[in-house]
Chains A and B, each alone.
Chain A
Amino acid sequence: KAGVTQTPRYLIKTRGQQVTLSCSPISGHRSVSWYQQTPGQGLQFLFEYFSETQRNKGNFPGRFSGRQFSNSRSEMNVSTLELGDSALYLCASSLEGVTTDTQYFGPGTRLTVL
């Protein structure tokens, strides 16, 4: 079974631009969560989607948004990029997102903002 895939793997943008990252969960998984990983703050939860609905949201500004499609694939968007948005963005999928589910992480998209 294929793992979680994320595209693109690397991205370079400039301040003020916007970016869209994509995540394809493991087949059959309906819950997708997004995390930001930086050297200073570590891994921080962004949001979680289940059945095309945002179910949980972390403490990030409204510039960070996401969506989920009917096939469970998910995208996250960051508008008006800032230098501090440079990070590894990870998505994780699980079957239903309930307590007993294992979250499987993708390899991440490394975003550099210049």
Chain B
Amino acid sequence: QKEVEQDPGPLSVPEGAIVSLNCTYSNSAFQYFMWYRQYSRKGPELLMYTYSSGNKEDGRFTAQVDKSSKYISLFIRDSQPSDSATYLCAMSLMDTGRRALTFGSGTRLQVQP
């Protein structure tokens, strides 16, 4: 069993929809949680990061962490075709900070115009 589980999709939604992306993890020692977006033939780019349980909002993106359930989510409001990409959750232990990340397998999102 992988430490971080993520539904690979693809997830297809119409433009303007609210998208919910999720990851579960098994290692309760993970302390830092991130979401990356990866376009085809590009490297991942950091979207959001958080260290604590609760919600963090940035524009159309909201990251949610529930450490008690070992569950993290990324919500995208008013989704756009340009949001079509693979979304990767990532997490790390306290002692390595963000230097050694454990990634989910990624969810491929397609936003239909």
Give CA–CA (A108, B99) in the complex, Å. Answer: 17
**Interface SS, A side:** strand
Take A42-B103, A42-B104, A43-B88 as given contacts and tell me if A106 and B43 are in contact as well, using a CB distance cutoff of 8 Å.
yes
B98/A45 in contact, CB under 8 A: no
Binds B, one of A13-21, A60-68, A74-82, A91-99: A91-99
Contact size class for B? 20 to 34
Complex interface: chain A residues within 8 A of B17 (CB): none
Contact size class for A? 20 to 34
**Can you give 12 A-B contacts (C-beta < 8 A)?**
A31-B99, A43-B44, A43-B106, A45-B102, A48-B100, A56-B96, A56-B99, A94-B99, A102-B46, A103-B46, A105-B44, A105-B45
